[in-house]
Chain A
Amino acid sequence: DAKTTQPPSMDCAEGRAANLPCNHSTISGNEYVYWYRQIHSQGPQYIIHGLKNNETNEMASLIITEDRKSSTLILPHATLRDTAVYYCIVRVNTNAGKSTFGDGTTLTVKP
Protein backbone atom coordinates (compact mmCIF):
# COMPACT_ATOMS: atom_id res chain seq x y z
CA ASP A 1 0.00 0.00 0.00
CA ALA A 2 1.20 3.49 -0.82
CA LYS A 3 2.37 5.67 2.06
CA THR A 4 0.20 8.67 2.93
CA THR A 5 1.09 11.95 4.60
CA GLN A 6 -1.48 14.03 6.47
CA PRO A 7 -1.10 17.10 8.67
CA PRO A 8 -1.37 16.09 12.32
CA SER A 9 -4.04 18.64 13.15
CA MET A 10 -6.34 21.26 11.67
CA ASP A 11 -8.97 23.66 12.91
CA CYS A 12 -12.14 24.73 11.17
CA ALA A 13 -14.88 27.18 12.05
CA GLU A 14 -18.36 25.74 12.46
CA GLY A 15 -20.40 26.15 9.30
CA ARG A 16 -17.36 26.57 7.08
CA ALA A 17 -15.95 23.98 4.73
CA ALA A 18 -13.25 21.73 6.14
CA ASN A 19 -10.62 20.75 3.59
CA LEU A 20 -8.40 17.90 4.72
CA PRO A 21 -5.37 17.17 2.52
CA CYS A 22 -3.59 13.89 1.95
CA ASN A 23 -0.39 13.29 -0.01
CA HIS A 24 0.16 9.92 -1.63
CA SER A 25 2.88 10.55 -4.18
CA THR A 26 3.78 6.86 -4.60
CA ILE A 27 0.25 5.74 -5.40
CA SER A 28 0.01 3.15 -8.13
CA GLY A 29 -2.59 2.92 -10.86
CA ASN A 30 -4.85 0.36 -9.20
CA GLU A 31 -4.82 1.86 -5.71
CA TYR A 32 -7.88 3.58 -4.33
CA VAL A 33 -8.01 6.47 -1.86
CA TYR A 34 -10.18 5.76 1.17
CA TRP A 35 -11.18 8.09 3.96
CA TYR A 36 -12.35 7.18 7.44
CA ARG A 37 -12.96 9.16 10.55
CA GLN A 38 -12.95 8.29 14.23
CA ILE A 39 -14.88 10.33 16.73
CA HIS A 40 -13.31 10.07 20.15
CA SER A 41 -13.00 6.39 21.19
CA GLN A 42 -15.77 5.28 18.83
CA GLY A 43 -15.21 2.77 16.05
CA PRO A 44 -13.81 4.30 12.85
CA GLN A 45 -16.44 5.20 10.28
CA TYR A 46 -16.03 4.85 6.53
CA ILE A 47 -16.62 8.15 4.71
CA ILE A 48 -15.82 7.86 1.02
CA HIS A 49 -13.40 6.44 -1.51
CA GLY A 50 -12.31 7.01 -5.08
CA LEU A 51 -9.91 5.92 -7.78
CA LYS A 52 -9.52 8.76 -10.27
CA ASN A 53 -12.70 10.78 -10.43
CA ASN A 54 -14.00 13.11 -7.80
CA GLU A 55 -16.65 11.56 -5.61
CA THR A 56 -19.45 12.96 -3.48
CA ASN A 57 -21.85 11.41 -1.03
CA GLU A 58 -24.08 12.63 1.76
CA MET A 59 -21.13 12.99 4.11
CA ALA A 60 -18.35 14.52 2.05
CA SER A 61 -16.64 15.12 -1.26
CA LEU A 62 -13.35 13.64 -2.37
CA ILE A 63 -11.19 15.56 -4.80
CA ILE A 64 -8.29 13.62 -6.35
CA THR A 65 -5.69 15.51 -8.37
CA GLU A 66 -5.20 14.55 -11.98
CA ASP A 67 -1.82 12.95 -11.28
CA ARG A 68 -3.41 11.18 -8.28
CA LYS A 69 -0.53 12.14 -6.02
CA SER A 70 -2.76 13.95 -3.57
CA SER A 71 -6.38 14.26 -2.55
CA THR A 72 -8.61 16.45 -0.41
CA LEU A 73 -11.58 15.44 1.68
CA ILE A 74 -14.13 18.22 1.89
CA LEU A 75 -16.77 18.50 4.58
CA PRO A 76 -18.90 21.25 3.07
CA HIS A 77 -20.46 22.66 6.24
CA ALA A 78 -18.54 21.45 9.25
CA THR A 79 -20.37 21.01 12.53
CA LEU A 80 -19.07 20.43 16.04
CA ARG A 81 -19.93 16.75 15.59
CA ASP A 82 -17.39 16.53 12.77
CA THR A 83 -14.56 16.93 15.29
CA ALA A 84 -12.64 13.69 14.85
CA VAL A 85 -9.47 12.05 13.59
CA TYR A 86 -9.59 11.64 9.81
CA TYR A 87 -7.60 8.88 8.17
CA CYS A 88 -6.54 8.76 4.54
CA ILE A 89 -5.65 5.25 3.34
CA VAL A 90 -4.42 4.16 -0.05
CA ARG A 91 -4.67 0.56 -1.15
CA VAL A 92 -5.79 -1.81 -3.85
CA ASN A 93 -9.19 -3.41 -3.64
CA THR A 94 -8.46 -6.93 -2.55
CA ASN A 95 -10.12 -9.42 -0.27
CA ALA A 96 -6.75 -10.38 1.12
CA GLY A 97 -4.07 -8.84 3.20
CA LYS A 98 -3.40 -6.72 6.21
CA SER A 99 -5.00 -3.42 7.02
CA THR A 100 -3.12 -0.31 8.09
CA PHE A 101 -4.32 2.98 9.50
CA GLY A 102 -1.81 5.80 9.85
CA ASP A 103 -1.87 8.65 12.34
CA GLY A 104 -4.51 10.73 10.56
CA THR A 105 -5.46 14.38 10.98
CA THR A 106 -7.20 15.59 14.11
CA LEU A 107 -9.85 18.03 12.93
CA THR A 108 -11.25 20.36 15.56
CA VAL A 109 -14.37 22.27 14.59
CA LYS A 110 -14.72 25.41 16.67
CA PRO A 111 -17.87 27.42 17.38
Chain B
Amino acid sequence: EAQVTQNPRYLITVTGKKLTVTCSQNMNHEYMSWYRQDPGLGLRQIYYSMNVEVTDKGDVPEGYKVSRKEKRNFPLILESPSPNQTSLYFCASRFGQSYEQYFGPGTRLTVT
Protein backbone atom coordinates (compact mmCIF):
# COMPACT_ATOMS: atom_id res chain seq x y z
CA GLU B 1 0.00 0.00 0.00
CA ALA B 2 1.31 3.42 -0.99
CA GLN B 3 1.78 5.47 2.14
CA VAL B 4 3.68 8.00 4.17
CA THR B 5 4.47 6.91 7.70
CA GLN B 6 5.53 9.04 10.65
CA ASN B 7 6.89 8.06 14.02
CA PRO B 8 6.13 8.63 16.76
CA ARG B 9 2.48 9.59 16.43
CA TYR B 10 2.43 11.21 19.86
CA LEU B 11 5.30 12.59 21.88
CA ILE B 12 5.55 14.53 25.11
CA THR B 13 8.99 15.85 25.92
CA VAL B 14 10.76 18.51 27.93
CA THR B 15 12.44 21.70 26.84
CA GLY B 16 15.92 21.18 25.44
CA LYS B 17 15.81 17.41 24.96
CA LYS B 18 16.76 16.64 21.37
CA LEU B 19 14.26 14.63 19.39
CA THR B 20 13.75 13.26 15.91
CA VAL B 21 10.47 12.62 14.13
CA THR B 22 10.88 10.14 11.32
CA CYS B 23 9.09 10.20 7.99
CA SER B 24 9.22 7.50 5.36
CA GLN B 25 7.44 7.02 2.03
CA ASN B 26 7.29 3.93 -0.18
CA MET B 27 6.29 5.62 -3.45
CA ASN B 28 9.74 6.59 -4.72
CA HIS B 29 8.78 10.25 -4.55
CA GLU B 30 11.49 12.86 -5.06
CA TYR B 31 9.79 15.69 -3.18
CA MET B 32 9.20 15.53 0.57
CA SER B 33 8.09 18.19 2.98
CA TRP B 34 7.36 18.92 6.63
CA TYR B 35 4.50 21.06 7.88
CA ARG B 36 3.28 22.17 11.24
CA GLN B 37 -0.31 22.98 12.02
CA ASP B 38 -1.45 25.23 14.83
CA PRO B 39 -4.93 26.48 15.69
CA GLY B 40 -5.72 29.66 13.79
CA LEU B 41 -2.48 29.51 11.78
CA GLY B 42 -3.24 26.71 9.37
CA LEU B 43 -0.65 24.50 7.72
CA ARG B 44 2.79 26.06 7.49
CA GLN B 45 5.73 24.53 5.69
CA ILE B 46 8.90 24.01 7.71
CA TYR B 47 11.35 22.46 5.26
CA TYR B 48 11.18 20.67 1.95
CA SER B 49 13.45 18.49 -0.10
CA MET B 50 13.40 18.15 -3.88
CA ASN B 51 15.66 15.09 -3.87
CA VAL B 52 18.42 13.31 -1.99
CA GLU B 53 20.82 15.79 -0.41
CA VAL B 54 18.71 18.75 -1.60
CA THR B 55 16.79 20.58 1.10
CA ASP B 56 15.47 24.10 1.51
CA LYS B 57 13.66 26.24 4.03
CA GLY B 58 9.95 26.68 4.05
CA ASP B 59 8.09 29.46 5.83
CA VAL B 60 8.91 28.53 9.45
CA PRO B 61 12.31 26.75 9.56
CA GLU B 62 13.65 28.27 12.80
CA GLY B 63 14.43 25.67 15.44
CA TYR B 64 14.30 22.71 13.04
CA LYS B 65 16.76 20.69 11.01
CA VAL B 66 16.22 18.10 8.31
CA SER B 67 18.30 15.69 6.32
CA ARG B 68 17.69 13.69 3.16
CA LYS B 69 20.27 10.95 2.90
CA GLU B 70 17.94 8.45 1.28
CA LYS B 71 15.05 9.03 -1.07
CA ARG B 72 12.47 7.37 1.15
CA ASN B 73 13.33 9.07 4.46
CA PHE B 74 13.10 12.69 5.57
CA PRO B 75 13.55 13.03 9.34
CA LEU B 76 12.70 16.23 11.22
CA ILE B 77 15.13 17.09 14.00
CA LEU B 78 14.52 19.41 16.91
CA GLU B 79 17.92 19.98 18.48
CA SER B 80 16.60 21.92 21.49
CA PRO B 81 12.82 21.84 21.56
CA SER B 82 10.93 24.71 23.12
CA PRO B 83 7.27 25.02 24.19
CA ASN B 84 6.46 27.11 21.10
CA GLN B 85 7.20 24.01 19.00
CA THR B 86 4.24 22.24 20.53
CA SER B 87 2.21 21.47 17.43
CA LEU B 88 0.78 18.89 15.07
CA TYR B 89 3.37 17.91 12.46
CA PHE B 90 2.76 16.41 9.04
CA CYS B 91 5.15 14.92 6.55
CA ALA B 92 4.19 14.78 2.87
CA SER B 93 5.62 13.53 -0.39
CA ARG B 94 4.88 13.90 -4.08
CA PHE B 95 6.24 12.76 -7.41
CA GLY B 96 7.72 15.07 -10.01
CA GLN B 97 6.01 18.30 -10.89
CA SER B 98 2.45 17.48 -9.87
CA TYR B 99 1.20 19.03 -6.66
CA GLU B 100 -0.65 15.82 -5.75
CA GLN B 101 0.81 15.31 -2.29
CA TYR B 102 0.45 12.35 0.03
CA PHE B 103 0.41 13.20 3.72
CA GLY B 104 1.36 11.16 6.72
CA PRO B 105 -1.01 10.67 9.67
CA GLY B 106 0.61 13.37 11.77
CA THR B 107 2.73 13.59 14.92
CA ARG B 108 1.34 15.45 17.88
CA LEU B 109 4.24 16.94 19.82
CA THR B 110 4.01 18.55 23.23
CA VAL B 111 7.04 20.31 24.70
CA THR B 112 6.77 21.20 28.38
Contact yes or no, A43 B104, CB < 8 A: yes
Contact yes or no, A44 B59, CB < 8 A: no
Q: Which residues of A contact B110 (CB under 8 A)?
A: none
Interface residue ranges of B90-112 to A (CB < 8 Å) = 90, 92, 96-106, 108
B19 beta carbon closer than 8 Å to chain A:
no
Residue of A whose beta carbon sits closest to that of B31: A95
- Interface residues, chain A, CB within 8 Å of chain B? 32, 34, 36, 41-46, 49, 89, 91, 93-96, 98-104
Shortest C-beta distance, A99 to chain B (Å), equals 5
Q: What is the size, in residues, of chain B's interface with A at 8 Å between Cβ atoms?
A: 27
Contact yes or no, A98 B48, CB < 8 A: yes
Q: How far is the CA of A44 from the CA of B43 in the complex (A)?
A: 10
Contact yes or no, A91 B99, CB < 8 A: yes
Q: Can you give 14 contacting A-B residue pairs, CB < 8 Å?
A: A41-B106, A42-B105, A44-B43, A44-B101, A45-B103, A46-B100, A46-B101, A49-B99, A95-B97, A96-B50, A98-B45, A99-B33, A100-B45, A102-B42
